[in-house]
Amino acid sequence: MYKLFIKKLLASLALASVISTPALAAKIDLEQEIHISAGRQAGDLKNKIASYLDDVVISQGSLKIKADLVQVFSQKDQDVQTYVAKGQPATFEQLLEDGSKIRLQANEIKYEPLTFTITISGNALLTQAGSEVSGEKIVYNTLTEQLEAEGGSNQSVTTILKPKAKSDK
């Protein structure tokens, strides 16, 4: 158990040195309009659940979610929403302040804008600047830039770091 914890910690620290999502990018995107396109839409107005099906694309500023199904859960009497996207795979992309993209993909993506948290599970993969982390589940906070990755029962967490390009001097 201790070895597994150390392995996860080292992978997280290694990735943290590569991934640099500025909090500013996440905050600016949240101030933009949300655009949703889908083949079909259904709503449960009483329980404040909107469902979008078939080739769903949600965009807000540089943030883009693509999936087969997205459900948007709103809390009663509040402007708080949680997005749950499912697909083979579902994807989440966001442009970073430095112009690079962070991309997450998995069978399920849970995005909670209020807490700046993205949880991806089922064949989870996070890529940025050519480096990647994969596992069964990855939780990423775009504001604090903290990452936690978990392997499954038959899967370990894998981190691949792209070497920095040598500068020509």
Ordered by start, the domain boundaries in the chain are 2-160
Q: Which residues make Cβ contacts (< 8 Å) with residue 129, sequence separation at least 6?
A: 18, 19, 100, 162
- Share the mean pLDDT of the chain: 82
Q: Which residues pair with 40 in a beta bridge?
A: 53
Compute CA 19 distance to the chain's CA centroid, rounded to the nearest angstrom: 13
**Angstrom distance (rounded) from CA 148 to CA 141:** 9
How high is the pLDDT of residue 18?
39
Evaluate whether the domain defined by 2-160 bears CATH number 2.130.10.30: no
Look at the pTM and tell me if it is higher than 0.75. Answer: yes
CB 46 within 8 A of CB 92: no
**What is the CB neighbour count within 10 angstroms for residue 136?**
20
pLDDT average, residue stretch 136-143: 90
**Angstrom distance (rounded) from CA 120 to CA 61:** 21
Q: pLDDT tens digits, residue range 25-69?
A: 666 887 889 999 999 999 999 989 999 999 999 999 999 999 999
The band of 24, judged by pLDDT with boundaries at 50, 70 and 90, is low
